[in-house]
């Protein structure tokens, strides 16, 4: 196996602690809610990693799906003290956002596809048969990751179109 | 053994961060988010302690459902307070303090 499971768990835990701190300390409450959504998905990944699959599914469906939307509507319906100022993001913010999403994607891929790196980096080049066998054994997970990536892509495109 | 201690320490850190947020913030929605973080830490700790038992999984499922219900009721209370008082900052809600 290419990676140590303890290291993966440590990286997930460190990332979760950072995101939790950001959820508490963000000045704008919508950003705080966004970090809370990332936090719930990370907790779901940890549940998945520990073998509690049903809890992971319920965690992501209930928290990242329902509770975050509920809190978002409550934020929209109540008045805040300061006005929201939407500005264009700087290069530093884009780099930070890209690194955060990259780390998030790598952690998700490592948790969801545990056999994939071990075959790819075993010393010999994987043949087409190996790749087909990996794709068929992990078909559900690959479809899940693909749906997640497509959803994030379309959501970002619609957010950009709506912001103009 | 290291992993067990580490996991319990991790859930403790998450709980402490949530408790700090609950104590230091005065916006009711932020306080609700902190409560949700603390509930998540408790669920994590429960799963860590009983990894091999599927009984704890059902308890955590029930706890997640109850947390969702708690969030819905809490946010409805927040909306009622906002409609009656026009604010959700707890510093400005002093009618109960006598």
pLDDT digits (tens, 9 = 90+) for B13-72: 898 888 888 888 888 999 999 999 999 999 998 888 877 777 778 888 888 988 988 998
CB A77, CB A154: distance < 8 Å: no
Better pLDDT: A150 or A66: A66
The whole-angstrom distance between A139's CA and the closest CA on chain B is 26
**Coil, strand or helix: which one is A29?**
helix
Out of A20, A29, A52, the one facing B37 most closely (by C-beta) is A20
CB A44, CB A60: distance < 8 Å: yes
Q: pTM higher than 0.80 for the full model?
A: no
pLDDT of A3-15, one tens digit each?
A: 666 788 888 899 9
pLDDT band, very low/low/confident/very high, at A157 (cuts 50, 70, 90): low
φ and ψ at residue B89, rounded to 5 degrees: -85, 125
The whole-angstrom distance between A7's CA and the closest CA on chain B is 10
Closest CA to B61 of A70, A62, A64: A62
pLDDT for res B94:
76
CA triplet A141, A142, A144: central angle to 5 degrees?
60
| Residue indicated by tokens 């701190």 | A21
Which chain B residue has its CA at the smallest distance from A67's CA? B68
Range with the poorest average pLDDT among A125-139, B60-74, B80-94: A125-139
């Amino acid at each position: 196996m290419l990676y140590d499971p303890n290291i993966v768990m440590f990286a997930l835990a460190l990332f979760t602690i950072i995101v939790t701190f950001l959820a508490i300390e963000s000045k704008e409450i919508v950003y705080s809610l966004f970090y809370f959504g990332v936090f719930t998905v990370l907790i779901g990944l940890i549940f998945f990693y520990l073998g509690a699959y049903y809890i992971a599914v319920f965690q992501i469906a209930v928290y990242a799906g329902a509770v975050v939307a509920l809190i978002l509507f409550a934020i929209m319906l109540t008045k805040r003290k300061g006005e929201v100022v939407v500005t264009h993001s700087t290069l530093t913010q884009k780099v930070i956002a890209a690194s955060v999403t990259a780390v998030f994607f790598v952690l998700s891929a490592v948790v969801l596809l545990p056999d994939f790196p071990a075959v790819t980096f075993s010393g010999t080049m994987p043949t087409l048969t190996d790749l087909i066998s990996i794709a068929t054994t992990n078909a559900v997970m690959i479809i899940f990751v693909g749906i997640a990536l497509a959803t994030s892509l379309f959501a970002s495109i619609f957010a950009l179109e709506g912001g103009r | 053994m290291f992993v067990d201690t580490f996991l319990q320490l991790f859930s403790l850190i998450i709980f402490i961060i949530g408790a700090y947020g609950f104590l230091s913030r005065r916006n009711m929605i932020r306080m609700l988010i902190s409560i949700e973080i603390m509930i998540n830490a408790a669920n994590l700790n429960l799963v860590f302690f009983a990894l091999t038992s599927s009984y704890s999984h059902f308890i955590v499922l029930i706890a997640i459902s109850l947390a969702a219900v708690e969030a819905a009721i809490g946010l409805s209370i927040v909306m009622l307070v906002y409609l009656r008082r026009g604010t959700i900052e707890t510093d400005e809600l002093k009618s109960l303090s006598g």
